[in-house]
Amino acid sequence: MPKIFSSVFVKLFAILVAAGIGINLAILLFIGSFRHHLSTTYESHLARYIDFLVQEIGEPPDLQRAQRLATETGMKIAYDSPSRQWATHPRGEFPEQVCHHLFNLQDGRIQAGSYHGQHVFYVARDDGRLTFFLPKTWDADRKIKVFGLILLLGITLLLAAVYFAIRRVLKPLRGLEEGVRQVAQGRLGHQVPVQGRDELSALSRSFNDMTRQIALLIKAKERLVLDVSHELRSPLTRSKVALAMLPESAGKQSLLEDIGEMEAKIAELLESARAVGVKAELKRVPTDLAELIARTAAGFKDRPPGVRLAELPQLPPVSLDPRQTERALRNIIDNALKYSVPASPPVRIALHAREAFAVITVSDRGIGIPRADLALVFEPFYRVDPSRRARTGGYGLGLSLAKTIVEAHGGRIEIDSVHGEGTTVRILLPA
Ligand code: ADP
C-alpha cells in the first residue's frame, strides 16, 4: 500500500469525502422519489388541460381558432395530417425533434417533452397530429449550468476548508512525532508544543511530563553514581596508607594494584562528571581547526596502526574551547586506534565544511560496532562487549564525554559503523 494511504490525515479526509457523497446520494434519492410522486398526481391535470386546448381549436382543427389561442397564450400551434397542414408560426420555429424526456400521457395519446427548456406536447387526432409549443418561461439550460458551476465552486471551497480543518486538528500529531524522534536521539530536553484542550493536546502535555520525569530520573542516577564515587575516594586513600605500613608480600602487591585500578576508575568518573558542567565553563576563542587536529593527532603518532591526516583545508577560525575540543577529539581517535586490529590501515582524519558546520571525520577499519549497539555507545558506562575491557581498558565514558563537550558547543556527533568493517565518527561544530 503506498505510504500516502497509511496517513491518518488522508484516511480522515477520505472518510469525510465518502460521507459527503453518501449524504448527497441519500438526498438525491429522496428528491427523486418525491418528484416521482408529484409527477404522477400532476399528470392527470396536465392531460385535462391539453384536452381543453384541443377542444378550443375545434373539430376539425381550425387555424383561426388556433391563432386566437396562440395570441392569447403565447404558444405556437401546428397541425399535420395527410390532407391538411397548418401552423400559427413559421415552421422553422418549431423543434425538429424533441430531445429531452419524451414521455407518454394517457396511454400514448399525448406525448410530452421539453426542448431547450420549452415544453412541447404532441396530441394524436383521428388522422393527424397537433403540436403545442409552449412559450419559454425560464432558461433551464443556462440556469442549470450556472447552478452547476456554483455548486462545483462551493464543493471545492468546502473540501479546501475540510482539508485545512483536519490539518489543524492533527497538527499536534506532527509535533509529537518530532518529539518522539528527538527523544529517541537522546534529546530529553525537547518539549513538544501544546495548543488547545483536545485529546491530542492532552497527549502532548503528558508526553512533555514524561520526558521531564525521565530526564530527572537520569539526572538523579548520574548524581548518585558521582556522589558514591566521590565518597569512595577517602576510604581508598586510607586503605592505601594502611597498606603501606604492612610488611611486603605478594598479597600486598595485588591489593595495591586493585586499589590503583579503583582510583583510576573513580578519577575517570569524576572527570566525566565535571564535563556535565562543561557548557557553563567553555572558554571560547577563535581556533584554527586544522592546527588543532594536527596537534591532537601528533599525540598518537606511536600508537599502532597509526594516524593519517587527509589534506586539511584552511577553514575560517571557529569559536570554541580548544582544550575541551581536543579532549573530545582525543577520545575519538583513541577509540579508533583501540578498536583497530593489527592488520588495519591507519586511522584517517579529515576536515571539511558542510552547510553551517565544520566537520571532523575520524574513520577506522577496525572491529566496528554491531547495529543494535550503535544508538547506545554515547550513553555513559555503555560498552559494546564488556569482555573487550580486558584488552582495551576504558569504562564506557569516552564517547559520552565527547558528546557532552561537542553539544555544549552547539554541535553534534554522528557515528556510522559496520560490524567487522570499521567505524566513522563525525564531529560537527557550528562554523
Ligand atoms: P570505552 O572507554 O569503552 O572505549 P567509549 O564511550 O569510548 O568507551 O565507547 C563506548 C563503546 O563503543 C566501546 O566500549 C566500544 O565497544 C564502542 N566503540 C567506540 N568507538 C569505537 C570504534 N572506533 N570502533 C569500534 N567500537 C567502538
- Are the C-beta atoms of residues 151 and 20 closer than 8 Å to each other? no
**Sheet containing 307-309: order of strands:** 307-309, 347-354, 357-364, 422-430, 412-418
Question: Same domain, yes or no, for 312 and 234?
Answer: no
> Of 276, 299, 318, which marks where a domain is finished?
276
> Is residue 191 in a domain?
no
Task: Residue 264: give the domain boundaries.
Answer: 199-276
Output phi, psi for 365, to 5 deg.
Answer: -115, 45
Cβ of 362 closer than 6 Å to ligand 1, yes or no, is no
> Is residue 168 in a domain?
no
Q: For residues 56 and 73, what is the distance between their CA atoms, to the nearest angstrom?
A: 12
Cβ of 77 closer than 6 Å to ligand 1, yes or no, is no
pTM of the model: 0.50
Q: What is the CATH number of the domain that holds 216?
A: 1.10.287.130
Question: Same domain, yes or no, for 263 and 394?
Answer: no
Name which residue sits closest to atom 3 of ligand 1, judged by CA.
Answer: 396
Per-residue pLDDT tens, the chain, 431 aa: give them: 566 666 778 888 888 889 889 988 999 999 888 877 777 777 788 888 888 999 999 888 899 999 999 999 889 999 999 888 999 999 888 877 655 556 677 677 888 887 776 788 888 887 888 999 988 766 666 777 888 899 889 988 988 998 898 888 888 888 999 999 888 877 788 899 988 788 888 999 999 999 999 989 888 887 787 778 778 888 888 898 898 888 888 888 899 988 988 888 888 777 766 666 666 677 889 999 999 999 999 999 888 888 998 888 888 899 999 998 998 999 999 999 999 988 889 999 999 998 889 999 999 999 999 988 888 888 877 778 766 555 566 667 788 889 988 988 889 999 999 999 999 999 999 98
Cβ of 339 closer than 6 Å to ligand 1, yes or no, is yes
Q: Ligand 1, from 382, 383, 426: best to mutate by most atoms within 8 Å of Cβ?
A: 383
Number of C-beta neighbours around residue 334 at 10 A: 19
> Of 234, 252, 276, which marks where a domain is finished?
276
Taking each helix axis as running N to C, give the angle between helix 171-184 and helix 199-244, from 0 to 180 degrees, rounded to the nearest 10.
Answer: 10
Question: Same domain, yes or no, for 282 and 410?
Answer: yes
Q: Ligand 1, from 377, 395, 419, 424: best to mutate by most atoms within 8 Å of Cβ?
A: 377
Cβ of 122 closer than 6 Å to ligand 1, yes or no, is no
Question: Same domain, yes or no, for 272 and 285?
Answer: no
* H-helix or E-strand spanning residue 425: strand 422-430
Question: Same domain, yes or no, for 241 and 125?
Answer: no
> Is residue 184 in a domain?
no
Cβ of 336 closer than 6 Å to ligand 1, yes or no, is yes
- Exposed, middle or buried: residue 306 (CB in 10 Å: 0-12, 13-18, 19+)? middle
Cα dist from 162 to 13, 167, 276, whole Å: 8, 8, 49
Report the SS3 class of residue 311. coil
Q: What is the CATH number of the domain that holds 283?
A: 3.30.565.10
> Is residue 351 in a domain?
yes
Atom of ligand 1 nearest to the CA of 384: 16
